[in-house]
Amino acid sequence: DTEVTQTPKHLVMGMTNKKSLKCEQHMGHRAMYWYKQKAKKPPELMFVYSYEKLSINESVPSRFSPECPNSSLLNLHLHALQPEDSALYLCASSQRDRDSAGYTFGSGTRLTVV
């Protein structure tokens, strides 16, 4: 299995809703990432998990809450989002060791906040 699987593919949520985005990989990658991509912009890093521990939080608002229950799963819990949070949310994974340089992206979740 050489894929990163993200669910759902599309999500529409109200500003008072609570929802979660899920990401799964079975490549044995020990680093997992959340990126946010707005229209016509490159992906922006949100969070990095390394060996299931949060290692980077790029000053993301607390209405986004990541969780890494095990080495194969990465969740992003959403609560009280704003319309400007509408974007494509991408999950990625990579090997953790210095000698590996590749990344694998999931197909993304397109989120619309109404």
Partner 1 sequence: EDKVVQSPLSLVVHEGDTVTLNCSYEVTNFRSLLWYKQEKKAPTFLFMLTSSGIEKKSGRLSSILDKKELSSILNITATQTGDSAIYLCAVGTFNNAGNMLTFGGGTRLMVKP
Residues that bind partner 1 (CB under 8 A): 30-31, 33, 40-45, 48, 50, 55-56, 88, 90, 92, 94-96, 98, 100-108
Distance CA 20, CA 43 (A): 20
Nearest to 42 by CA among 81, 6, 90: 90
Strand partners, 37: 88
- Of 11 and 48, which has the nearer Cβ to partner 1? 48
- Of 81 and 106, which has the nearer Cβ to partner 1? 106
Compute the least distance from the CB of residue 38 to partner 1, in Å.
12
- Of 17 and 57, which has the nearer Cβ to partner 1? 57
Distance CA 110, CA 67 (A): 19
Compute the least distance from the CB of residue 63 to partner 1, in Å.
23
Which tokens in the block code for residue 69?
A: 């229950």
